[in-house]
Amino acid sequence: MQVRDRLILAAEQQFADKGALDARLSDIRGEVGVSVGALYHHFPDKTALYHGVWDHALTDYQVAFWAAVRDHETAEGGIRAGVEAHLQWVTDHPARATILTGTRPKNSLHGDSDNRDFFRKVVTFWRTHAAYGSLRGLDFDIAYTLWLGPAQEYSRLWLAGAVEKPPSAVAPALADAAWRAVQRPRRRGGLR
């Protein structure tokens, strides 16, 4: 593993445990076992390191989420898979999830084009299934909130220690709720 990657992983845990303000570069550097120069070669300051950690977490999340959604041909399969992937990712990566539920850094290194590409794919999934009558024809910001809002809130509660069951344990219930919230209601007689 490259030094930069090891620094990001060590910083991820420090930032998640202590917060960006209280995490110390000397602790991160010491955990990785690199010199001051090696740290500053990759990250000129703590803000740059935080950006790197945040961007790494976001990219990892988006890859996992899209991989789960894109593998489903049906709207229901994709909606359920997205919720389940979100909750499994949070369970598997609590430090990264803690970073992402915090404040997004200004001028994030995560390129706008990367974010646009992710949302373009997800919006295309949504609009395609809405056009075929499987999903409600909602503005995507509302649709996304109905789709993942409860899963995100449960994840925040778990990360804060307010609930005990890990997010992956409640995935079936939240996936059912998401599907009920976003599916296009059937008309009388079973027609759509």
> Domains of the chain: which residue ranges?
54-184
- Residue 72 and residue 122: Cα distance in Å, rounded? 12
Give the CATH fold of the 54-184 domain. Tetracycline Repressor; domain 2 (1.10.357)
* pLDDT by residue, tens only, the chain of 192 residues: 899 999 999 999 999 999 989 999 999 999 999 999 999 999 999 999 999 999 999 999 999 999 999 989 999 999 999 999 999 999 999 999 999 998 788 765 555 667 889 999 999 999 999 999 999 999 999 999 999 999 999 999 999 999 999 999 999 999 999 999 999 987 765 555
Per the CB < 8 A criterion, the answer to whether 159 and 56 are in contact is no
- Residue 180 and residue 185: Cα distance in Å, rounded? 9
Judge residue 49's burial from the number of C-beta atoms within 10 Å of its C-beta, 0-12 exposed, 13-18 middle, 19 or more buried. buried
Per the CB < 8 A criterion, the answer to whether 101 and 155 are in contact is yes
User: For residue 62, how many other CB atoms are within 10 A of its CB?
Assistant: 19
Q: What is the pLDDT of residue 177?
A: 98
